[in-house]
Every structure is written in structure tokens, then in C-alpha cells.
Amino acid sequence: MPREFTRAERVSDAIQQELAVLIRENVRDPRVGMISVTEVEVSRDLAYAKAHVSFVGDRTQEEIDEGLAALNGASGYLRKLLAGSIKLRITPTLKFFFDESGRRGQHLSALIDLAISKETPAADDEEQSDSEAV
């Protein structure tokens, strides 16, 4: 029977959970603020990890870049803390990236709401003309 998940996937899930706690409790840089670790991709040899994060609240691109720079600057410290909490032979080198999916989802939702609001008056007019015809 094949395995459901690879070791890299299990390690990435553990790193994702632990990173969220470590960043919340140990990173005091105001440029970071509140973040959500949305995904962690670990290489097959477990030497490198790409952590995708999204920032809570509205931020400009400049603020996002500053927050990512702060996280990438603290990656060595976070790696050290991660090594103490997750027992692995090799603790992956961390690299942080911004996850656009939340922002993109909000934009698409706004576009859908706009399209529905433009469509609604036309639908109401058709219903009124149908009821007047009867």
C-alpha cells in the first residue's frame, strides 16, 4: 500500500505550524506585524524551505516588501528556533515569499459582486414587465 503523504509533505506541515507560532511569539519587528503562514514547500532533501506568508490587513506593496525583508533577515534566527522545536537531522534554510492568493481572491470577489450589482436592475426590470403583462 503506497504512502498517502511523502516525508517532505509531513515535514512541511510541521514547519508551517511551528513557524506560525515562532513568528507570533519571537519576531518583534514592527514591519512584520500580523501574518499568516499559508504554505511551506520543502525540497525533497529537506535542505530548503519556501514559506509563503500573507499579511493581515491592507498593506501597500512597499510595506509588504519591508515585511518580507524583515522575515528574510530573521530567517537564521527562526531556523535556530525551529531546530530546537522540530527534531530533524537537517533544519531547512528558510526563504519567505508573499502569497498573493488572498489579495487575488478579494479582488475577484469584488469583481463578481460588481457584476452582480450591475446585472440585478436589468433582472428586476424584466420581472416587472413580465408581471405587468399578466
The topology under which CATH files domain 1-99 is GMP Synthetase; Chain A, domain 3 (3.30.300)
Question: Domain residue spans in the chain?
Answer: 1-99, 100-134
Predicted pLDDT of residue 127: 59
Q: How many CA atoms lie within 13 A of 19 on its CB side?
A: 31
d(CA 56, CA 58): 7
Q: Which long-range contacts (CB under 8 A, 24 or more apart) does 66-69 make?
A: 66/31, 67/31, 67/32, 67/33, 67/35, 68/96, 68/97, 68/98, 69/31
Whether 122 has a pLDDT exceeding 60, the answer reads no
Asked which of 44-48, 81-85, 96-100, 106-110 is least confident by mean pLDDT, the reply is 106-110
Q: Considering the entire predicted model, what is its pTM?
A: 0.77
CA distances from 60 to 103, 121, 133 (A): 11, 35, 53
Whether 129 has a pLDDT exceeding 70, the answer reads no
Cα of 5 vs its chain's centroid, Å? 21
